[in-house]
Amino acid sequence: MDHDEAIRQKAPEKYLLDELDPGIREQFEEHLFQCQDCALDVRATATFIEQSKIILAEKPVEVQARAAAPASSGWLAWFRPAIAAPVFAMLLIVVAYQNLVTVPHLSQAANTPHLLTATSINLMTYGSNPSPVSVHAGTGFLLNVIVPPGAHFSSYKADLFNPAGGVELSLAIPTSAEDTWPIEVPAAERQSGTYKLVVHGIAADGKEVEVGRSSFELQVQK
């Protein structure tokens, strides 16, 4: 098991909650001894669980009113000690989880290098890309778009359409001397099928002219 697979399966959390299958658990334990990031996740999650047990074990303090007062109703009832104490305890648990697990995990994911699947799209030849693009579910990929040289436009616009014909993404591209654009398609839940890329050049007067289009097969591995 590599680090990306461990994060995708939420292995650190499931490991402490004993929700991993025996085979996956053994693979994660082998990975755990070699991965400092996952070891940190396990320690942070364990700390969160222990803190949660302490907070939930505490009994709300019983406050005696100095004078008799009518029972409150409606949204004001949330401020009664018997109700407010458990609510604040749960809020404290949520804040603790974010500080100990969620925020470090997001920071780690943002700073961890990823190897993206890449393919080339040649707008100078019409038709589909012969090589299918194979990606894991929920991951992104890279399109190296080859554009015709010598065009004079103020800017470009690239639209990626999914198999249903909807716009998957739309990207404005400034004029560049480069004839190949590396376009990163962000991670998302996608379906396998034929995707189409259409590029328009935008003239100085704002008029759009189609520069080229091409399609490719995306194979999503579950």
26-51: average pLDDT:
75
Domain that holds residue 217: 117-221
Q: Are residues 121 and 96 in the same domain?
A: no
Q: Are residues 41 and 89 in the same domain?
A: yes
Handedness of CA 54, 56, 59, 64 (dihedral sign): positive
Question: So what's the pLDDT on residue 85?
Answer: 53
Q: Which of 78, 111, 144 is the last residue of a domain?
A: 111
- At 128-172, the pLDDT tens digits run 666 788 998 888 899 999 888 767 788 899 999 999 999 999 999
63-90: average pLDDT:
50
| Cβ–Cβ under 8 Å, residues 168 and 193 | no
Q: How many folded domains does the chain comprise?
A: 2
Q: Are residues 146 and 209 in the same domain?
A: yes
Q: Are residues 78 and 93 in the same domain?
A: yes
Cα 136 from chain centre: 13
Q: Which of 91, 111, 131 is the last residue of a domain?
A: 111
Q: Are residues 101 and 50 in the same domain?
A: yes
Q: Are residues 12 and 81 in the same domain?
A: yes
Question: So what's the pLDDT on residue 170?
Answer: 92
Q: Are residues 143 and 105 in the same domain?
A: no
| Token pair listed for 43 | 């320690």
Q: Are residues 155 and 106 in the same domain?
A: no
Q: Using alpha carbons, select from 5, 2, 14 the residue that is nearest to residue 41.
A: 14
Please state, as a whole number, how many other Cβ atoms lie within 10 Å of the Cβ of residue 12: 25
Task: Name the residue with higher pLDDT: 79 or 3.
Answer: 3
Task: State the virtual CA torsion across 177, 181, 186, 192 in degrees, nearest 10.
Answer: 160
Q: Are residues 71 and 45 in the same domain?
A: yes
Q: Using alpha carbons, select from 172, 167, 173, 174 the residue that is nearest to residue 188.
A: 167
Q: How much is the pTM?
A: 0.50
Q: Using alpha carbons, select from 11, 60, 187, 222 the residue that is nearest to residue 116.
A: 187
Q: Are residues 9 and 103 in the same domain?
A: yes
Q: Which of 111, 128, 150 is the last residue of a domain?
A: 111
Q: Are residues 143 and 175 in the same domain?
A: yes
Q: Are residues 80 and 175 in the same domain?
A: no
Give the domain CATH number at 165: 2.60.40.1930
- At 45-70, the pLDDT tens digits run 777 666 666 656 655 554 444 444 45
Task: Name the residue with higher pLDDT: 77 or 150.
Answer: 150
